[in-house]
Amino acid sequence: MPDRRLTILGLGLLAACAFFLFWGLKGPAGFILELRATKLAALLLVGAAVGISTVVFQTVTGNRILTPSIMGFDSLFLLVQSLMVLTMGGLGYVMTDGPAKFLLDTGLMMAASLMLFTLLMGRGRGDLHRMILAGVIIGLFFRSMTAFVLRLIDPSEFSVVQQVMFASFGAVDTTQLAIAAVLFLAVFAAIWKLAPALDIVALGRDSAVGLGLRYDRLAMVLLLLVSALVAVSTALVGPISFLGLLVAALAHEVVKTPRHVLLLPAAALIAGLVLVIGQGVFERLLGLQSTLAVIIEFFGGLLFLYLVMGGRRR
Partner 1 sequence: MSRPLLLTCLALAGLVLASVSIGAASVSPWHLLSDPEGTKLLFLSRLPRTAAAMLSGASMAVAGVIMQLLVRNRFVEPSTTGTVEAAMLGLLAVTMLAPGVPILGKMGISAAAALLGMAGFLALIRRLPPEEPLMVPLVGIIYSGIIGAGTTFVAYQADLLQYLGTWMNGEFSGVLAGRYELLWLAGLVAGLAYLYADRFTIAGLGETASIGLGLNYAQTLWIGLVTVSVVTAMVVVTVGAVPFVGLVVPNIVARIMGDNLRASLPVMAGMGAGLVLASDVLGRILRFPYEIPAGTIFGAVGAAVFLWLLLGPKRRAR
Q: Which residues bind partner 1 (CB under 8 A)?
A: 123-124, 127, 129-130, 132-134, 136-138, 140-141, 144-145, 147-148, 151-152, 155, 241, 288, 291, 294-295, 297-298, 301-302, 304-305, 308-310
Of the two residues 38 and 291, which places its CB atom closer to partner 1 in the complex? Answer: 291
In the bound complex, what is the minimum distance in angstroms from residue 72's beta carbon to partner 1?
A: 10
Of the two residues 28 and 122, which places its CB atom closer to partner 1 in the complex? Answer: 122
Of the two residues 130 and 312, which places its CB atom closer to partner 1 in the complex? Answer: 130
Buried-exposed string 23-46: b where 16+ CB fall within 10 A, e elsewhere: eeeeeeeeeeeeebebbbbbbbbb
Of the two residues 4 and 87, which places its CB atom closer to partner 1 in the complex? Answer: 87
In the bound complex, what is the minimum distance in angstroms from residue 155's beta carbon to partner 1?
A: 7
In the bound complex, what is the minimum distance in angstroms from residue 205's beta carbon to partner 1?
A: 21
In the bound complex, what is the minimum distance in angstroms from residue 219's beta carbon to partner 1?
A: 21
In the bound complex, what is the minimum distance in angstroms from residue 125's beta carbon to partner 1?
A: 12
Of the two residues 162 and 175, which places its CB atom closer to partner 1 in the complex? Answer: 162
In the bound complex, what is the minimum distance in angstroms from residue 116's beta carbon to partner 1?
A: 11
* Residues 52 and 188: beta-carbon distance below 8 Å: yes
In the bound complex, what is the minimum distance in angstroms from residue 161's beta carbon to partner 1?
A: 15
Of the two residues 134 and 264, which places its CB atom closer to partner 1 in the complex? Answer: 134
Of the two residues 93 and 142, which places its CB atom closer to partner 1 in the complex? Answer: 142
* Residues 86 and 150: beta-carbon distance below 8 Å: no
* Cα 109 to Cα 229: distance, rounded to the nearest angstrom: 10
